Amino acid sequence: MGEVDPIECTLYATSGLNPRIECFEKFKVLDPSWPDMWYLNRNLKNSSLPDLNVTTAWELGYTGKGVIITFLDDGLEWDHPDIFENFEQSASKNLLDNKDDPRPDYSHYVQNHGTRSAGIVGSLANNNLCTIGIAFNSRIGAIRILSDQAVSDSLLAQALEFNREKIHIYCSSFGPPDLELIEPGPKTKTALREGVNKGRKGLGSIYIWASGNGGEFEDSCAYDGYINSIYTFSISATTENGNKPSYTEECSSILATTFSSGSPEEKSIYSIDIKGECTSDHSGTSAAAPIAAGIIALTLEANPKLTWRDVMFITVLTSRAKAIVSNNYIQNKRGLLVSSRYGFGLMDAGRMVEVAKNWVNVPKMVTCDVQSFDYLVKTRKLFGITEVRLFTNSCQGTRNEINYIEQIEIVVSILVKIRGFLEFNITSPMGTKSQILQVRKYDNSPEGFVKWTFMSVYFWGENPKGEWILNFGSIDASIVEMSELNLKIHGTKNKPCEYEKYF
């Protein structure tokens, strides 16, 4: 990669100074798609345009070595010449046919999704073929679970548990059908919970999930139980020009953003393709999530002792909200900018590896159950909004005491005439407001929600003690009945990190 001073090559200093590009005169990548891989290299050409700062991590010597990533998808053409040297059999399985070979089934419909996603991370460097992977020295596998049939609870749980002692990162670029309400089954919930506790020899498996592509139907990832899990890294997308893609979904549980496709005039993501081919049009959050997986692989190489929550903290603190121009951000009372479109902002590989090197593990996470009720709460009047106030001392004086929030969960049962017309907001004791559920106007289901879990990252770092205010109502002025409410706060008693140094 060339002898270059890594200090001089830091693209995004924490001081906020403009990136320096002159030191990259010796930086050479020989893969044919490299000149067009705008999301990785455009700061080398134009310092005013943000990229993912991956080249800084490379110049610091981090290439994903020692990190294993598997893709829960439709398979992997592992003998593709631009990835086969990085293929990891121990991270691979065809669970559909109970075979070791995760190769896609070419017989009845195109199955290139997993191969394209894996290539974003693990394509070989400087071999004059296709692209260069973000973590081009990592090991890549695939667990084949996707076909033209729905993925069962049992099958997905098997995939999430597969060889979790060895696999570092599980990347999932699939989700429920648009305008549906789908939550993980009991086996999948158990697999996720045990994965973050037992995976990677107790450090915790990293589960990355694409936030969804139903935006054109005004779908919301708040209806996706995988995105609402506190154990998953939900990843959204922005376009080449920093715009909101038409396909992206919004919700309060999105953690961060990478780049992907946009309008027809904007470029997409480069990768390998099936049958030994290359592609320039991997798209949607299906491409954004693997990019995040590659960046996290670089981060784990920089510090292999990071727990899953350490990685989540580093993502929160180093993502750059101001790199994506949007009026959708709010600043919480810890000082963090957060958005229902982009989470905490655009991921920055260079900053992540720099922070990871000297990161001190965060304290153990605890959970404070605030209050629950099983009586009926209705909207007070037509055209009105019901307000519910909950006071908590944040479990002070107990082993579950929390002074620093990470995520909150709200478990509710709600009856409503038209589910898609429901709006739901919550305001923290420190005054930060998060929209938990937004209108989904094409959802005409009368089914409502039964013990449904919503999640928000908006209050990260805040103190939960005091009064929480919940507001809900239907935009068509119909009666809304809430029969169950449980607020769960996840976080730590002691300060997990020096937040201020990252602003």
CATH architecture of 366-492: Sandwich (2.60)
Residue 12: per-residue pLDDT: 32
| Catalytic member of 31, 33, 51, 73 | 73
- Clarify whether 286 is annotated catalytic: yes
Answer whether 455's CB lies under 8 Å from 409's CB.
yes
The average pLDDT across 377-383 equals: 61
Reported as a single tens digit per residue, the pLDDT across 235-274 is 999 999 999 999 999 999 999 999 999 999 999 999 999 9
Residue 376: per-residue pLDDT: 74
Residue 28: per-residue pLDDT: 78
Instruction: Give the list of residues 6+ apart from residue 42 with CB closer than 8 angstroms, or none.
Output: 49, 51
Superfamily of domain 22-357: Peptidase S8/S53 domain (3.40.50.200)
Residue 49: per-residue pLDDT: 79
**Quick one: pLDDT band at residue 48, thresholds 50, 70, 90?**
confident
The average pLDDT across 173-187 equals: 92
Residue 43: per-residue pLDDT: 80
Reported as a single tens digit per residue, the pLDDT across 100-128 is 999 999 987 779 999 999 999 999 999 99
Residue 383: per-residue pLDDT: 58
Answer whether 320's CB lies under 8 Å from 12's CB.
yes
Q: How many CA atoms lie within 13 A of 274 on its CB side?
A: 17
Residue 237 DSSP SS3: strand
**What is the residue extent of each domain of the chain?**
22-357, 366-492
Q: How many CA atoms lie within 13 A of 425 on its CB side?
A: 13
The token pair at 410 is 């709200």
Instruction: Give the list of residues 6+ apart from residue 118 with CB closer than 8 angstroms, or none.
Output: 69, 71, 73, 76, 83, 140, 142, 272, 290
Tell if the pTM clears 0.85, that is, is over it: yes
Reported as a single tens digit per residue, the pLDDT across 270-329 is 999 999 999 999 999 999 999 999 999 999 999 999 999 999 999 999 999 999 999 999
Reported as a single tens digit per residue, the pLDDT across 458-496 is 999 999 999 999 999 999 888 899 999 999 999 999 999
| Catalytic member of 80, 113, 168, 282 | 113
**Quick one: pLDDT band at residue 380, thresholds 50, 70, 90?**
low
- Clarify whether 113 is annotated catalytic: yes
Same fold, 22-357 and 366-492: no
Residue 426: per-residue pLDDT: 98
- Kindly tell me if the per-residue pLDDT of 374 is higher than 90: no
The average pLDDT across 377-397 equals: 81
- Kindly tell me if the per-residue pLDDT of 168 is higher than 80: yes
Answer whether 422's CB lies under 8 Å from 405's CB.
no
Reported as a single tens digit per residue, the pLDDT across 322-359 is 999 999 999 999 999 999 999 999 999 999 999 999 99
- Clarify whether 73 is annotated catalytic: yes
**Quick one: pLDDT band at residue 79, thresholds 50, 70, 90?**
very high
The average pLDDT across 152-176 equals: 97
The average pLDDT across 63-80 equals: 98
- Percent of the chain past pLDDT 90, that is, above it, reads 84
- Percent of the chain past pLDDT 70, that is, above it, reads 93
| Catalytic member of 286, 319, 340, 428 | 286
Helix count and strand count (H, E) for the chain: 8, 20
- Kindly tell me if the per-residue pLDDT of 57 is higher than 90: yes
- Kindly tell me if the per-residue pLDDT of 144 is higher than 70: yes
- Separation of alpha carbons 179 and 219, rounded Å: 6
E strand map for 255-380: 256-259, 269-272, 278-282, 329-331, 337-339, 366-373, 377-378
